[in-house]
Amino acid sequence: MQKQELLAPAGDIEAGYAALYYGADAVYLGLSKFSARATATNFDEPALDEFTAYAHSLKRKVYVALNTVLQEGELPDLIKSLDICTRCRVDGLIIQDLGVARVMKKSYPWFEMHASTQMAVHNKEGALFLQKMGFKRVVLARELTAAEIKEIAAIPDLETEAFIHGALCYSYSGLCQFSAIEYGRSANRGKCVYPCRAAFKCQGKESHLFSMKDMALQQDVLNLPVTSLKIEGRKKSALYVAAVTDYYRQILDGKGTDENREERIKQIFSRPWCKFHFKGKDKKVIDRDFVGHRGLAVGEVDKIVRGWLTFKTNHKIARYDGLQIDAAGDEKPFGFSVQKLSVEKKNVFEACAGDVVSIELPRNYPLLQKGDKIYLASSSEVKGAYHYEKPKPHAFHHTQDIDVTVTVNTNCIEAACGDYHSRIEGTFSPANNPQKSREAIEQAFAKTGDTAFKLKNLQINNPDNLFTPASMLNELRRDLYANIQVENKTGTLPPALERTSDKTVPQFKIKIDNLGYLQQLDLDKFAEIIYLIAPNSDIAGLSALPKNKVRVALPAVCRKPHLYADIIERLLAGGYHKWEVANWWALNILPVERLDICFDSSLYMLNTQAISMATEIGASQITLSLEDIKLNVCNLIEKSNLKTSLIIYQDIPLFTSVGCIRDNDCKVCPQGELWFDLQNQGQKFKALSRNCQMMVFDGKPFCIVQEAKDLTPDYFRMDFCYRPYSAEKVKKIINQLIEFNDVTDCIKGNFIKNNI
């Protein structure tokens, strides 16, 4: 097996240098735009060029994450970003947007395309389809088990990348819409406000139902057959990156886990660790009681007397170290810096493991109780433990090789590089030492300084062995090098496909997961009836519907696609040729070339390049994103070459997750449908647990029918899925929507906002 790549994060150039020093084979980072970690420092072009040149000098790789979805007006800036990546010679791009993929394939074919984890690849079929699209590497969903990872990693000629350490998202990456819909800050555009870390009240108790522990696979990385082992952390410090990279470098080099290194990581930054679902379903991956950095557990509160905390420490502690204590009732641990420290009533600078220590607490400390856990959250010793070397500023930059010809005549010296020429006139006589004269020319033209190129070949034509003064040679070189224009490969925005069919008056679509919802409806009012199926769906009822109106929908998450094989085969055999897909896996199991395919909103069509790519894949219709704003939606409706659907009513899945909030043990779980009522700061939500999958919804439906009535998509779509309805309620709501009247008490998401 080829040596696995240890891939480390860099939110800035210092973190990048630390990663390389401590053994990363590759580093991934973001630019100022289109990074899913928009609030990291990120890299401008000079920093990227300098860092990439340095990494390449060490035979390491650099990948740039352009892994957000782009609106139509941002496409020109995409070209600028891709040109920067070209000039800086990055080794690959991590992307989510289908439009970015199209631009890269048509205008930047020299780049490797890596499918971001935001593309929600959670099965073999999804990975196979992206491979067909030209992706060299797929970054796998974090939720996968070891067996699932092994199956995908076995795909020939496809590189796979798996996360091994760092923060976890509650929702499948790419399918989380909570931050966007509720706060106008889209995770798919790098602006997540992390609502999963908030406290929610459920069944009378408030806790952090969705706040994930950190992943730490530790020694289990040796059982991962993937190409690349990825550390999360582009918002973390250089110190953290150094410590985690060093820890896993030791493991991969056969030196095993190191308890001291592990303790250092936990002191720098760490939530409680878990393996996530690597070894199978695990309900203990959520930390309900506290959020944020905890630290290394060093003891428990024994007593507090007159503002002094006493406990037995299991680890060295020094003055000015930072401690944190899990104070019951507080959302975050109580933290403070050690200012006064004593052992056996003697003031000390440092206490050893096993000592009973007394530490003065700061004023206004919270209520602390015997048994509360104490953590070492920062250590002066650890801060100095990860020195790393880095090059002198501006010592590295990319250059282009050039060939120069110097010709010495009796009345002039000429220098040429391709179409660029320079000439100095003078009177030149034979040299006393021809060899030294030649060496002087070589030395002069070897000095490329801070230019963007370096001399590869120098041809000297001096048949009469004439002497050339160094001052004139230097002037000739400066003049020539100042005129040379380095040629870089650049790309352009490929033309989007144009619509060939005429636009018509918008029609209505309805999407349901229960055929009973149609009982009281006049189906003549609908151009299409979209039926969301499950492996056990009763499809017999479809026979009562006009087949030409039925579109069969497949879900966004499917961990076992083979379970759908039978029902898909029966529907295809029954003549159902209209299908809706919500994830890439569906496109690998459907005979796309002979079907009418519509892309659902989870495939994020926010620009015409994405829509054109959807066309080239085989789609005939697209559904506009639920996260988008009206201005961009209008732009796409006008420019789209495909028919467009705009969702005007839906219970939006804010989270789609394998993180279960049921209290029962998995072994005795009935796995049936169970609903929870949640509250966060007075706002109501609903959570659905069904068949080992969680979905969270706003207590109110999304409805934009009044704001959308002046738009002209091909279809207005209204959805009645996941949450329970009656046929009577569906009829009542639809009657309002068809008249372009909002339902009472609804949310608007981002539609009426200016930005996301």
What amino acid occupies position 653? Answer: P
What amino acid occupies position 359? Answer: I
DSSP state of 626: T
DSSP state of 68: S
Q: How many CB atoms neighbour CB 420 within 10 A? A: 16
Burial (CB < 10 A; 0-12, 13-18, 19+), residue 65, is buried
* pLDDT number for residue 503: 83
Q: For domain 296-383, give its CATH number from 3.30.1330.10, 2.40.30.10, 3.90.1150.10, 2.40.110.10.
A: 2.40.30.10
Place domain 5-168+213-274 in its CATH homologous superfamily.
Aldolase class I (3.20.20.70)
Question: What tokens does 539 get?
Answer: 């499809």
Q: Cα angle vertex 746, ends 741, 747, to 5°?
A: 120
Please state, in angstroms and rounded to a whole number, the distance separating the CA atoms of residues 613 and 363.
61
Residue ranges of the chain that CATH labels 2.40.30.10: 296-383
Residue for token digits 């009513």? 649
Beta strands across the sheet bearing 420-425: 420-425, 412-417, 400-408, 453-461
Please state, in angstroms and rounded to a whole number, the distance separating the CA atoms of residues 307 and 615.
69
Q: Cα angle vertex 100, ends 98, 102, to 5°?
A: 70
Yes or no: say if 231 and 166 are a contact pair by the CB < 8 Å rule: yes
End-to-end CA distance of the chain: 44
DSSP state of 567: H
Please state, in angstroms and rounded to a whole number, the distance separating the CA atoms of residues 715 and 528.
9
What amino acid occupies position 533? Answer: I
SS3 for 250-307, per residue?
HHHCCCCCCHHHHHHHHHHCCCCEECCCCCCCCCCCECCCCCCCCCEEEEECCEEECC
Rg (CA), the chain: 31
Residue ranges of the chain that CATH labels 3.20.20.70: 5-168+213-274, 507-651+701-738
Residue for token digits 């984890």? 117
What amino acid occupies position 350? Answer: E
- The conformational region for residue 17 under phi > 0 = left, psi -120 to 50 = alpha, else beta, is alpha
**Which residues does 439 contact at the CB level (< 8 Å), separation at least 6?**
none
Question: What tokens does 482 get?
Answer: 């100042």
Yes or no: say if 269 and 15 are a contact pair by the CB < 8 Å rule: no
Yes or no: say if 551 and 577 are a contact pair by the CB < 8 Å rule: no
* pLDDT number for residue 1: 56
Please state, in angstroms and rounded to a whole number, the distance separating the CA atoms of residues 608 and 630.
15
Yes or no: say if 723 and 598 are a contact pair by the CB < 8 Å rule: no
Please state, in angstroms and rounded to a whole number, the distance separating the CA atoms of residues 26 and 229.
10
SS3 for 665-734, per residue?
CHHHCCCCCEEEEEEECCEEEEEEEECCEEEEEECCCEECHHHHCCCCCCEEEEEECCCCCCHHHHHHHH
Please state, in angstroms and rounded to a whole number, the distance separating the CA atoms of residues 345 and 357.
9
Yes or no: say if 632 and 749 are a contact pair by the CB < 8 Å rule: no
Q: How many CB atoms neighbour CB 702 within 10 A? A: 22
Please state, in angstroms and rounded to a whole number, the distance separating the CA atoms of residues 263 and 251.
15
In our burial notation (b when 16+ CB lie closer than 10 A, e otherwise), range 662-675 reads eeeeeeebeeeebe
Q: Of 4, 3, 58, which is closest to residue 231 (Cα–Cα)?
A: 4
Q: Cα angle vertex 689, ends 688, 692, to 5°?
A: 145
In our burial notation (b when 16+ CB lie closer than 10 A, e otherwise), range 322-355 reads bbbbbbeeebebbbbebeebbbeeeebeebeeeb
Please state, in angstroms and rounded to a whole number, the distance separating the CA atoms of residues 194 and 199.
11
Residue numbers in the chain where pLDDT is lower than 70:
1, 486
What amino acid occupies position 503? Answer: K
CA 547 vs. chain centroid, Å, equals: 40
* pLDDT number for residue 47: 96
Q: How far is CA 710 from CA 504, 505, 632, 638, 716, in A?
A: 14, 12, 14, 13, 12
Q: How many CB atoms neighbour CB 140 within 10 A? A: 27
Please state, in angstroms and rounded to a whole number, the distance separating the CA atoms of residues 119 and 140.
9
- The conformational region for residue 268 under phi > 0 = left, psi -120 to 50 = alpha, else beta, is alpha
Please state, in angstroms and rounded to a whole number, the distance separating the CA atoms of residues 176 and 171.
6
**What is the DSSP code string of 359-389?**
EEPPTT-----TT-EEEEEE-HHHHTS----
- Strand duo 200-202 + 205-207: pairing: antiparallel
Question: What tokens does 444 get?
Answer: 């002069």
The SS3 assignment for 77 reads helix
Give the CA diameter of the chain.
Answer: 107
What amino acid occupies position 614? Answer: A
SS3 for 486-501, per residue?
CCCCCCCCCCCCCCCC
CATH 3.20.20.70: does it fit domain 507-651+701-738? yes
What amino acid occupies position 192? Answer: C
Question: What tokens does 297 get?
Answer: 């557990």
